[in-house]
Amino acid sequence: MKNPSKRTLQLITKAKKYYLPIYKQREAIFDHGKGARIWDIDGNDYIDFGSGIAVNGLGHSDPDLVKTLTAQTKKLWHTSNVFYTEPPILLAETLVKLSGFAKHVFFCNSGAEANEAAIKLARKYAADSGRPLERREIITFTGSFHGRTLTTVTATAQPKYHAGFEPLPPGFVYCPFNDEQALEKLVSDKTCAIMLEPIQGEGGITPAKPGFLNHIRKLCDKYDALMILDEIQCGMGRTGKLFAFHHEPDVKPDIVTLAKGLGGGFPIGAMLAAEKCADTLQFGSHGTTFGGNPMATAVAGAVLKKLNSKTLMRAVEQRGKEMRQALEQINGKFSLFKEIRGKGLMIGAELNQSFQGKAAEITEAARKGSLLILQAGPDVLRIMPPLTVTATEMKEGIKRLNKALATYLET
C-alpha cells in the first residue's frame, strides 16, 4: 500500500478541522468501488468485508441500482408526503408481501428513526388500550443497540451510550439477553412491548438462541405487549434469509424495523406493522419530511427485487460457512479467537483473553493490509462482506487478513 499522498493528508486535516470529532476515522479517502472492492484517491485497492456496516449488501456500484437511481433522478426527487408517488407505493406492497406478517409500512430515513417510530407506536397502542403511564414500559436487552436519538439510545441497554445525556426518557427496563428466566421475572402487565435484535450487532454479533424469539412471542401474547424486532443490521438477506426472524418460521412479530441493507447504500428506513397495531398511528401522530422520497424508495425497490432470490440466499449461507471455516483456520494458526459466531454473512469473531480490547488495533492493521473489517465493541471483529461477494474476492480478502494478522503479531 502506498503512503498517504499530500492530497489525502490535506483532506484529512480539513476533515479534522471542520467535522465534529465524534468518529475515529481511518487515514484514507475512499473514491470509488466495484463489487467487494473499493479504491482510495491514492489508487490503493481494498477488499471490503464491512459493507459500510451491513449497508452495501449488493456491493459497490451495482449496475441495476445505478440504473434505477439514475433514471429516478431524471424524473422526480421529492414532493413531500402530502402527495403520492409511485416508488414508495410499490416498495410498501413488496415489503408487506415478503415479510409474511405486515399490513402497513412507514418510511423514514434511518434505522434510529425507524426504531423511534416503533417505540412511539408501542406507547400509543398502550395509550389507546387505556393503559396508564405506569403500564407503558418497554423491555430491551443488555448488549442491544437501537440508535442515537435520545429515546433510542435509552432503549439501547448499554450504559456507555447513555453517559452525559441524562436525564434519559423513562419507561425502559433492561433484561439480560437470551435469559428466559430473567425475562419472565421482568415482564408484567406494565409491559407494553419487548424490543430486540434477532442478532445483536454492536453487542458483538450475538444471535438470539434457538427458541428465544418464540418464547418472547408467547409472553407478548400473554401480556398483550407488542413484539418489536430490530432488523436494521441483521435483516435484508444478511443472515441467508430476507428477514432474520424467518429462521424461526412460527414467529410473527408485531413490528419490524429496517434500514441499512434496505437501500443498498442509499439512506432509507422502514417500520413494518402487523394488523394488530397497524392503524394505531393516525393522521398527524407521526411523520417525516424526506421519508419515502421517490429516489430512496426506487433504489430500495431494486434492492429488494435482487435480494428476493433463493439462489442469492443460498449463496449467502454457503459463503458464510466458507468464511467461518476460513476464520477457524486462521485461529488455528494465530490462536486469536475465543468464539466465532453469527449467521450467513453476519459473523463475529470474539478475541480471546490475550487480545481483549485489541479489536480496533486489529481492524486498523487489516486496513493497512488493504482489507476493511469492522469491530463490534472492543473485543469482537465483525465480518460482513457484500452478500454478492465472489469466491475470488473472498479468497483474496482472507489472504490479506492472514498477512495483516501475521504483520500485526510480529510488531
Which amino acid does the sequence have at 187?
V
Secondary structure, 3-state, 287-351: CCCCCCCHHHHHHHHHHHHHHCCHHHHHHHHHHHHHHHHHHHHHHHHHCCEEEEEEECCEEEEEE
Q: What is the pLDDT of residues 72-82, one digit of tens each?
A: 999 999 999 99
Q: What is the pLDDT of residues 235-264, one digit of tens each?
A: 999 999 999 999 998 999 999 999 999 999
What is the model's pTM?
Answer: 0.97
Q: Can you read off the three cell numbers belonging to residue 289? A: 419530511
For residues 200 and 303, state if they share a domain. yes
Which whole number is the average pLDDT over 348-368? 96
For residues 35 and 105, state if they share a domain. no
Does residue 1 lie within any of the structural domains? no
For residues 56 and 116, state if they share a domain. no
Q: What is the pLDDT of residues 141-172, one digit of tens each?
A: 999 999 999 999 999 999 999 999 999 999 99
Q: What is the pLDDT of residues 275-295, one digit of tens each?
A: 999 999 999 999 999 999 999
Q: Can you read off the three cell numbers belonging to residue 133? A: 403511564
For residues 53 and 82, state if they share a domain. no
Which amino acid does the sequence have at 327?
L
Does residue 153 lie within any of the structural domains? yes
**Pairwise CA distance, residues 168 & 112, whole Å:** 16
Instruction: Provide the pLDDT for residue 3.
Output: 85
Does residue 295 lie within any of the structural domains? yes
**Pairwise CA distance, residues 381 & 236, whole Å:** 21
Pairing outcome for strands 226-230 and 255-258: parallel
Determine the Cα angle at 231 with ends 227 and 232, to 5°: 130
Does residue 69 lie within any of the structural domains? no
**Pairwise CA distance, residues 324 & 51, whole Å:** 17
For residues 105 and 176, state if they share a domain. yes
Which whole number is the average pLDDT over 382-410? 97
190: phi then psi, degrees, rounded to nearest 5: -80, -15
For residues 252 and 315, state if they share a domain. no
| Final residue before a domain boundary, out of 283, 307, 331 | 307
- Point out which residues pair with 226 in neighbouring strands: 193
Taking a C-beta distance cutoff of 8 angstroms, is the pair 318, 387 a contact? no
Which whole number is the average pLDDT over 170-194? 98
Instruction: Provide the pLDDT for residue 407.
Output: 95
For residues 354 and 243, state if they share a domain. no
Instruction: Provide the pLDDT for residue 386.
Output: 98
For residues 144 and 163, state if they share a domain. yes
Does residue 33 lie within any of the structural domains? yes
For residues 25 and 163, state if they share a domain. no
- Tell me the average pLDDT of the chain: 97
Does residue 71 lie within any of the structural domains? no
Residue located via cell numbers 434510529? 112
For residues 128 and 243, state if they share a domain. yes
Burial of 218 by CB count in 10 Å (0-12 exposed, 13-18 middle, 19+ buried)?
Answer: exposed
For residues 143 and 33, state if they share a domain. no
List, as own/partner pairs, every contact residues 28-34 make where C-beta atoms lie below 8 angstroms and the sequence separation is at least 24, other chains included.
28/4, 28/367, 32/60, 32/61, 33/59, 33/60, 33/61, 34/59, 34/60, 34/61
Which whole number is the average pLDDT over 330-353? 97
Q: Tell me how far CA of residue 307 lies from CA of 80, 206, 240, 289, 315, in angstroms.
A: 28, 23, 10, 28, 11
Which amino acid does the sequence have at 273?
A
CATH number of the domain where residue 352 is located: 3.90.1150.10
| Final residue before a domain boundary, out of 307, 331, 352 | 307
Does residue 98 lie within any of the structural domains? yes
The domain of 250 spans 76-307
Instruction: Provide the pLDDT for residue 2.
Output: 77
Q: What is the pLDDT of residues 17-65, one digit of tens each?
A: 999 999 989 989 999 999 999 999 999 999 999 999 999 999 999 999 9
Does residue 224 lie within any of the structural domains? yes
Q: What is the pLDDT of residues 70-128, one digit of tens each?
A: 999 999 999 999 999 999 999 999 999 999 999 999 999 999 999 999 999 999 999 99
Q: How many domains does the chain have?
A: 2
Which whole number is the average pLDDT over 293-305? 98
Q: Can you read off the three cell numbers belonging to residue 85? A: 408517488
For residues 355 and 293, state if they share a domain. no
Q: How confident is the model at residue 411 (pLDDT cuts 50, 70, 90)?
A: confident
For the residues of 187-244, what is the DSSP string, one character each? -STTEEEEEE-SEETTTTSEEPPTTHHHHHHHHHHHHT-EEEEE-TTTTTTTTSSSSG
CATH number of the domain where residue 93 is located: 3.40.640.10
Instruction: Provide the pLDDT for residue 77.
Output: 97
Q: Can you read off the three cell numbers belonging to residue 80? A: 413531500
Instruction: Provide the pLDDT for residue 263.
Output: 98
Burial of 249 by CB count in 10 Å (0-12 exposed, 13-18 middle, 19+ buried)?
Answer: exposed
